[in-house]
Each structure stands twice: as C-alpha cells, then as structure tokens.
C-alpha cells in the first residue's frame, strides 16, 4: 500500500465534500434534524411519564452513536456512487491505485468524518438538551470503534452491491443500513424487541454495542462480553464483506469500468 495514493483518493473526496451542498447537508443537517425531532419527542414523553427516567439521554445518545455507524458506511457507498456518476472509476483504476488502497481511503475518511459529525452532534445534544456525551470520555471509545467497524462492513457489502449492479441499486447507499437499525436497539433496550427479533439481534453486532453503551452511560460499567461478541461478529462480517466487494469489483471489470453507472 502506498500512502500517497490513499491520500490522493482522500483528497478527491474531500474536494467533493467542499463543493457539494448535498454532502454537507448529509453531514450536518440530517443529524441536527434527528436530534431536534427525537430529542423533543423524548423530552415530551419523559415529562408525561416518570417511568422512563432516562428517555432523553437514551434517545439522544442513540442518535449520536448511530451517526458513527451511518457515517462509516456512507463514506463507502456514497463515494462509490459519486465516482460511478462521474465516470471517474476508470481514471482511478487505470492508475496504479489498488483496491485495498481505495478501501483504506474510505476507512480513513469514515474515521475522520464520523469524528467531525459526532463531535458536532454531541455539541448540539449538549446545547439543546444538556446531554454531555463528552463526559463519558474513554469509556465510550471501544463502542465508538465497534460502531465504525459495523459501518465498514455494511459499507463494503452495500458498496459491493452497487459496484456489481450499478445505478439500479443506488438507493441502497442511503437505505440499506437501516435494515439493521431495528435490531440494533438504538433507542430502546433489546428486551423491548419481540422474541424473534431478539434472536436476529444476536447476530447484529451493533445490538451489543448499543446495549453496552447504554449500560456505560447509565450505570458507568463496561460489559466485556458485549464488546467481545460485537468485535468477533464485526471481524467475521468484515472478512465476508471484503471478499464480496473484491468479487464484485472483479466481476465489474468483466463488464468494463466505463460501462459502470
């Protein structure tokens, strides 16, 4: 892997971000809308019923943490789409750029942009609801990393679908990640899910992360088993998603990069 090539790809997407209102809106506007809408809703519910004492904290922290996962996959899927729409993939892959370097650039972008988006959302949460997620400091770090990992495999998998099937499935870039959202128990405890959904959630790494992060935020304890399970599942899915992506790319080379839209 050559760092200069990874940096070249990062530059390309950063220039795009600088010029594209769509991409900026995705980074800042939608997280704010989510925070305002769901924050107000949970505040209202908490005022109505004292039986959900930490409703605001649970919902707001859920929104902020979900941004990490979402952002991690977004950097793969939407940037691949951008290059498809721009017919730019041939410029990239008729150069010495390797597939692994392209992926490394997405991962780096995911880390940087998730940090920016999460910091922004956490700041908004503090301003709007006095929920200070920064105060949990290092305790949340492993969960943040695990969510990024989930974002990466979702991104690789959906990216593989987009590369394989082109513009026909471009909507997956934004929507597919929400398939795992209900099973991730983002805003509610896992126990709130029906029995069958709880069984599905066992195979969704983010369900362990949100449960664990909630426990850390509400009770100040870290569950090593949750972290271990989420990590193992993430590694397994990452390996599968990587090979799927690689295979999809190989397949599209049989069709030709110019014909990919």
Could you list the residues that contact another protein (CB under 8 A)?
A: 2, 4-5, 7-9, 11-12, 15-16, 19-20, 82-83, 86-88, 90-98, 250, 253-258
Q: Which is nearer to another protein, 137 or 256 (CB)?
A: 256
Residue with tokens 């594209």: 20
Of 49 and 86, the one with the shorter C-beta distance to another protein is 86
Least distance from another protein to the Cβ atom of residue 6, Å: 9
Kindly state the DSSP code that residue 86 receives in the 8-state scheme.
T
d(CA 36, CA 63): 10
Q: Helix 99-129 crosses helix 3-19 at what angle (to 10 degrees)?
A: 40
- Judged by beta carbon, residue 96 or residue 195, the one nearer another protein is 96
Instruction: Tell the smallest beta-carbon distance from residue 210 to another protein (Å).
Output: 35
3-state secondary structure (DSSP) of residue 1: coil
Q: Cα(181)–Cα(190) distance, rounded to whole angstroms?
A: 12
Nearer to another protein, 5 or 71 (CB): 5
Q: Which is nearer to another protein, 129 or 245 (CB)?
A: 245
Q: State the minimum distance, in angstroms, from the CB of residue 255 to another protein.
A: 8
CB of 92 to another protein, least distance (A): 7
From the CB of 242, what's the least distance to another protein, in Å?
A: 19
Range list of H helices, 130-257: 141-165, 172-175, 195-201, 205-219, 224-255
**Residue 3 host element (H or E):** helix 3-19
**Is-contact 121 22, C-beta < 8 A?**
no
89/186 with CB nearer another protein: 89
**8 Å CB contact between 251 and 165:** no
CA distance 97 to 121: 34
Smallest gap from Cβ 128 to another protein, in A, equals 32
């Amino acid at each position: 892997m050559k760092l200069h090539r990874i940096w070249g790809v990062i530059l390309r997407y950063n220039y795009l971000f600088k010029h594209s209102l769509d991409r900026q809106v995705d980074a800042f506007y939608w997280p704010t809308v989510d925070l305002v809408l769901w924050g107000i809703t949970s505040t209202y519910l908490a005022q109505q019923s004292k039986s959900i004492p930490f409703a605001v904290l649970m919902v707001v922290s859920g929104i902020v943490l979900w941004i990490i996962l979402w952002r991690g996959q977004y950097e793969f899927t939407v940037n691949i789409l951008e290059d498809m729409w721009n017919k730019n993939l041939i410029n990239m892959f008729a150069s010495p750029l390797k597939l692994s370097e392209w992926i490394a650039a997405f991962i780096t972008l995911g880390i940087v942009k998730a940090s920016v988006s999460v910091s922004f959302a956490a700041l908004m949460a503090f301003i709007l609801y006095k929920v200070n997620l920064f105060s949990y400091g290092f305790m949340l770090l492993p969960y943040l990393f695990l969510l990024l990992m989930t974002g990466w495999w979702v991104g690789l998998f959906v990216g593989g679908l987009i590369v394989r099937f082109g513009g026909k499935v471009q909507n997956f870039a934004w929507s597919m990640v929400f398939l795992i959202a209900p099973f991730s128990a983002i805003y509610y405890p896992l126990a709130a899910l029906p029995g069958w959904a709880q069984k599905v959630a066992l195979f969704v790494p983010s369900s362990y992360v949100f449960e664990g992060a909630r426990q850390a935020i509400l009770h100040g304890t870290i569950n090593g088993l949750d972290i271990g399970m989420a990590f193992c599942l993430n590694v397994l899915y990452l390996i599968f998603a990587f090979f799927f992506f690689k295979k999809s790319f190989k397949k599209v080379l049989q069709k030709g990069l110019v014909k990919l839209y």
